[in-house]
Amino acid sequence: MKRQALLPIVGVVALVVVWYLAVWVRLVDPVLLPPPEKAFAALVQGMAGGRLGYDFWRTLERTAYAIAIAAVIAIPLGILLGANEKAYRAAEFVIDFFRSTPASAMFPLFLVIFGVGDKTKILVASFGAALVILFNVAYGVMNARKTRLLAAKVMGASRLRVLTDVMLLESLPQTFVGLRNGVSLALVIVVVAEMFIGSIDGLGYRVFEAQQLFNMPEMYAAIFASGALGYGLNLAFMLVEKRFVHWAGK
């Protein structure tokens, strides 16, 4: 049991070893690939009171706003569409089309409408995340167990009560799938947006700037910080899901 828990560390150690080897045999130009301890030192220094910590916080903030806006719009809409299958079929093509459209292709449009600044970054990310959430919530509602809906109906629940007491909860596991996918997508979009559009902070900006200045340890540090943020967000949603959707898969 204990050994099993240690297995993930093997992968991390292997990665560091390969990295060291690559540096040692000069597989890559040392300017482009610093030794791991240098990148790690930059990560620790940057996060503990340095600029990187601030950028990390800014990216987290934008992603959080994006996912919050997306959830507030997409969850109720998804429930309404899911509860009314005809409405969903009518909207399905539009949803699928824009869900398949790379959200980054929307930047110029949003830039024109909302200008250069946080609004555009957050709203493009919201747009991408909202469609993913909407799609998942609607399917969660549509796939509600028929027996459970009948059970509520036979006990005398009105259509509204069936919606609030059964469909809503039935869709929760799928809603969390949508939220987790949505937050991953939102982070991708926010980081990309921070790289380009007149940015002055954020992890995307930090990665880009470090690269421009050829400060490779700092660039790797910012990349790892982004990875940690993505992983952490996913983990946070999983923990919340476990707490609130305790019945999932049972």
Partner 1 sequence: MDPRAAPPAAPAAAGGAPHITVRGLAKRFGEAVVYDRFDLDIPRGRFVSIFGPNGCGKSTLINMIAGLVPADGGEILFGGKHLADTKIGYVFQNYREALFPWLRSIDNIEYPLRLAKLPKAERRAKVERLVAHLGVKIDLNRYPYELSGGQQQLVSIMRALVVEPEVLFLDEPFSALDYEMTLFMRDQLQAVFDETRTTTILVSHDLEEAVYLADHVLLLSRRPARVADLVAMDLPRPRDAHTLSDPDFVRIKGHCLDVFQREVRKG
Report the b/e string of 64-87 with b at 16+ CB within 10 A: ebbbebbbebbbebbbebbbeeee
247 binds partner 1 (CB under 8 A): yes
**Structure tokens of 79?**
């429930």
Q: For partner 1, how many residues bind (rule: CB under 8 A)?
A: 20
Of the candidate spans 9-17, 24-32, 151-159, 228-236, the one that interacts with partner 1 by CB under 8 A turns out to be 151-159
- The kind and range of the H/E element at 89 are helix 85-100
What does the angle CA 36 – CA 37 – CA 41 come to, to the nearest 5 degrees? Answer: 120
156 binds partner 1 (CB under 8 A): yes
Between CA 74 and CA 156 the distance in angstroms is 29
Choose which of 169, 192, 195, 223 interacts with partner 1 (CB under 8 A). Answer: 169
243 lies in the binding site for partner 1 (CB under 8 A):
no
Options 7-15, 16-24, 78-86, 161-169: segment touching partner 1 (CB under 8 A): 161-169
154 binds partner 1 (CB under 8 A): yes
Task: Kindly state the tokens that stand for 72.
Answer: 């507030």
Q: Which is nearer to partner 1, 168 or 221 (CB)?
A: 168
| DSSP helix, strand, coil percent of the chain (3-state; round to 5) | 80, 0, 20
**By CB under 8 A, is residue 166 in contact with partner 1?**
yes
Q: Among 64, 148, 181, 228, which residue sits at the site for partner 1 (rule: CB under 8 A)?
A: 148
Check: CB of residue 87 under 8 Å from CB of residue 81.
yes
CB of 182 to partner 1, least distance (A): 22
Between 51 and 161, CB nearer to partner 1: 161
Minimal CA–CA distance to 202: which of 98, 92, 120, 136?
120
Report if residue 250 touches partner 1, rule: CB under 8 A.
yes
Q: Give the C-alpha distances (Å, rounded to integers) separating 196 from 98, 117, 119, 151, 211.
A: 23, 11, 14, 54, 13
106-145: contacts with partner 1 (CB under 8 A): 145
- Shortest Cβ 180–partner 1 spacing (Å): 19
Q: Please report how close the Cβ of residue 242 comes to partner 1 at its closest, in angstroms.
A: 14
Give 24 or 247: the residue with its C-beta nearer to partner 1: 247
Among 61, 161, 192, 234, binds partner 1 (CB under 8 A): 161
153 lies in the site for partner 1, by CB under 8 A: yes
**Is residue 150 a contact residue for partner 1 (CB under 8 A)?**
yes
Residues of the shown chain interacting with partner 1 in the complex, contacts defined by CB under 8 A: 145-148, 150-151, 153-157, 161, 165-166, 169, 172, 245-247, 250
